[in-house]
C-alpha cells in the first residue's frame, strides 16, 4: 500500500479485515517492521482516539512516533504564485518536503471549515501533503473523510456479525453543533464494499454527497429504516446541500433502546449522551462503541504495516 488517504486505497477489504484481526490477536508480532522508521503525526485539530490509537499502532510495529499539534503560529500557504507578504509564513511545498526528510510516513488531521463546500471538497491540506511529500501519507480525518475510523467500523461489524448479510443502518441523530460529514461519508463508502444490506436514514435536507451515497437506499422514516437492523451506526452531520447548516435538532431522532431493539449500537465517539443516544443504549451490552475504539488501533496498525512493507 502506497498511502491511505481514502477508503479506495484498500483494494481487498476482506483481506485487510482478516489481517487486522490477526494483528489484534498478536499485536507485537511485526515489531521489526518499523525499526528505524519514523511516523510524524500532524494535528491541525484536537484528537484523542485517533492520536492514541495511531501512536499505539505505530509503536506496536516498532516505529518511532513524533506527534505535533499545529497551533495558530504556523500559517501555511497553499496557493501557487502568492506574494507571501501577509499572514502566511511557509508554503506547503516546503513544509511537506521538509517533514518528509524526517518522516517515513506522514499522518495528517485537518478538519473542514464547513463554510465553503468547494474548498472543503478540494481537501487541500491532505492532498498537498500527498503531492509534495515523497513519503506515504495517512489520513487521520480530513475535510470529507475519516478512512481509519471506517476501517475500524468494518472490522467491528465483521467481528460481531452473525448473519451472512447483516442489515446495517446509518442513522443521523441531533447535535447542538455543526459537525463534518467525514465519518458518515467514509462509513457509507466502506459499507458499499462489504456484504451488507445497507440503508441510510436522516431528516430531509441532510442528504450526503450523492457522489458518495450513489444508489444506497435512503429512508426518511427512521423507525421504518431501523426495523430488523443488525447494526445501527449513529452519527450527526451538518447539511451537505445547504452546506454546513444545522437544519434540525429534532430530539425524536435520538436513538433509544426501543428503536434499537436487538441491533448493535455503533458510534465513532465522542458521543453526547441523551442527545445522540439515550444512556440505556450506551450502558447496555448492545453498545459496541468501546470495541470500535479498541479496533482503531488495529485498523491503523494494518494500514501502517501494509505501508511499511511497501517502503524501499
User: Taking CB under 8 A as the criterion, which residues in 25-64 touch a second copy?
Assistant: 27-28, 36, 38, 40, 46, 48-49, 51-53, 55-56, 59-60, 64
Please give the C-alpha separations between residue 312 and each of 54, 64, 134, in angstroms, as whole numbers: 22, 17, 12
Helix axes 182-191, 147-160, angle to 10 degrees: 50
Exactly one of 25, 32, 80, 118 binds a second copy (CB under 8 A); that residue is 80
What is the spatial distance between Cα 49 and Cα 2, in angstroms, rounded to a whole number?
A: 24
Exactly one of 25, 32, 85, 164 binds a second copy (CB under 8 A); that residue is 85
Give whichever of 6 and 300 is closer to a second copy, judged by the CB atom. Answer: 300
Q: 287: which 3 cell numbers?
A: 453498545
Q: Does 179 bind a second copy (CB under 8 A)?
A: no
Exactly one of 270, 309, 310, 311 binds a second copy (CB under 8 A); that residue is 270
Q: How far is the CB of 65 from a second copy (least distance, A)?
A: 9
Strand residue runs (E) in 38-162 = 38-43, 64-69, 76-77, 90-91, 105-109, 137-139
Please give the C-alpha separations between residue 47 and each of 17, 27, 140, 169, 223, in angstroms, as whole numbers: 24, 23, 9, 26, 33
Give Cβ neighbours of residue 6 (< 8 Å, ≥ 6 apart): 139, 145, 147, 189
Q: How far is the CB of 83 from a second copy (least distance, A)?
A: 4
Q: Does 250 bind a second copy (CB under 8 A)?
A: no
Q: Does 144 bind a second copy (CB under 8 A)?
A: no
Q: Does 22 bind a second copy (CB under 8 A)?
A: no
Q: 83: which 3 cell numbers?
A: 506574494
Q: How far is the CB of 33 from a second copy (least distance, A)?
A: 15
Instruction: Specify whether the CB–CB gap between 99 and 41 falls below 8 A.
Output: no
Radius of gyration in angstroms for the set of CA atoms belonging to the chain, rounded to a whole number? 20
Exactly one of 282, 303, 304, 308 binds a second copy (CB under 8 A); that residue is 282
CB-based burial label for 227 (10 Å; 0-12, 13-18, 19+): middle
Pick from 55, 53, 27: nearest CA to 293: 53
Q: Does 68 bind a second copy (CB under 8 A)?
A: yes
Give whichever of 48 and 311 is closer to a second copy, judged by the CB atom. Answer: 48
Give the number of other Cβ atoms within 10 Å of residue 119's Cβ.
Answer: 13
Give whichever of 32 and 81 is closer to a second copy, judged by the CB atom. Answer: 81
From first CA to last CA, the distance across the chain in angstroms is 12
Q: Does 94 bind a second copy (CB under 8 A)?
A: yes
Q: Does 24 bind a second copy (CB under 8 A)?
A: no
Q: How far is the CB of 240 from a second copy (least distance, A)?
A: 22
Q: Does 82 bind a second copy (CB under 8 A)?
A: yes
Q: How far is the CB of 111 from a second copy (least distance, A)?
A: 12
Question: Which residues here bind a second copy, judged by CB under 8 A?
Answer: 27-28, 36, 38, 40, 46, 48-49, 51-53, 55-56, 59-60, 64, 66, 68, 71, 73-74, 77, 80-86, 88-91, 93-95, 97-99, 101-103, 176, 269-275, 279, 282-283, 289-290, 293-294, 296-297
Amino acid at each position: 500500500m502506497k498511502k491511505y488517504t481514502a477508503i479506495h486505497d484498500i483494494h481487498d477489504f476482506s483481506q485487510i479485515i482478516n489481517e487486522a484481526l490477526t494483528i489484534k490477536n498478536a499485536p507485537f508480532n511485526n515489531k521489526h517492521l518499523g525499526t528505524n522508521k519514523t511516523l510524524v503525526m500532524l494535528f491541525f485539530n484536537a484528537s484523542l482516539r485517533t492520536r492514541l490509537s495511531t501512536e499505539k499502532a505505530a509503536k506496536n510495529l516498532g516505529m518511532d512516533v513524533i506527534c505535533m499539534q499545529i497551533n495558530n503560529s504556523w500559517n501555511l500557504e497553499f496557493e501557487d504564485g502568492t506574494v507571501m507578504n501577509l499572514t502566511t509564513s511557509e508554503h506547503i511545498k516546503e513544509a511537506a518536503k521538509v517533514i518528509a526528510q524526517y518522516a517515513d510516513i506522514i499522518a495528517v488531521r485537518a478538519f473542514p471549515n464547513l463554510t465553503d463546500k468547494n474548498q472543503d471538497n478540494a481537501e487541500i491540506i491532505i492532498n498537498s501533503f500527498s503531492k509534495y511529500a515523497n513519503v506515504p501519507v495517512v489520513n487521520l480525518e480530513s475535510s470529507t473523510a475519516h478512512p481509519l475510523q471506517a476501517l475500524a467500523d468494518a472490522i467491528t461489524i465483521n467481528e460481531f456479525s452473525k448473519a451472512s448479510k447483516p442489515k446495517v443502518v446509518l442513522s443521523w441523530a441531533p447535535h447542538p453543533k455543526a459537525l463534518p460529514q467525514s465519518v458518515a461519508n467514509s462509513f457509507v463508502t466502506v459499507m458499499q464494499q462489504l456484504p451488507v444490506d445497507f440503508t441510510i436514514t436522516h431528516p430531509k435536507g441532510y442528504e450526503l454527497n450523492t457522489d458518495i451515497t450513489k444508489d444506497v437506499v435512503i429512508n426518511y422514516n427512521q423507525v421504518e429504516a431501523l426495523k430488523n437492523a443488525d447494526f445501527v451506526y449513529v452519527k450527526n452531520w451538518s447539511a451537505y446541500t445547504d452546506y454546513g447548516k444545522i437544519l434540525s435538532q429534532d430530539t425524536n431522532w435520538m436513538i433509544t433502546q426501543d428503536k434499537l431493539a436487538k441491533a448493535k449500537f455503533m458510534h465513532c465517539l465522542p458521543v453526547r449522551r441523551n442527545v445522540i443516544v439515550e444512556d440505556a443504549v450506551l450502558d447496555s451490552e448492545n453498545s459496541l462503541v468501546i470495541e470500535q475504539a479498541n479496533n482503531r488501533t488495529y485498523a491503523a496498525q494494518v494500514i501502517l504495516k501494509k505501508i511499511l512493507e511497501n517502503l524501499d
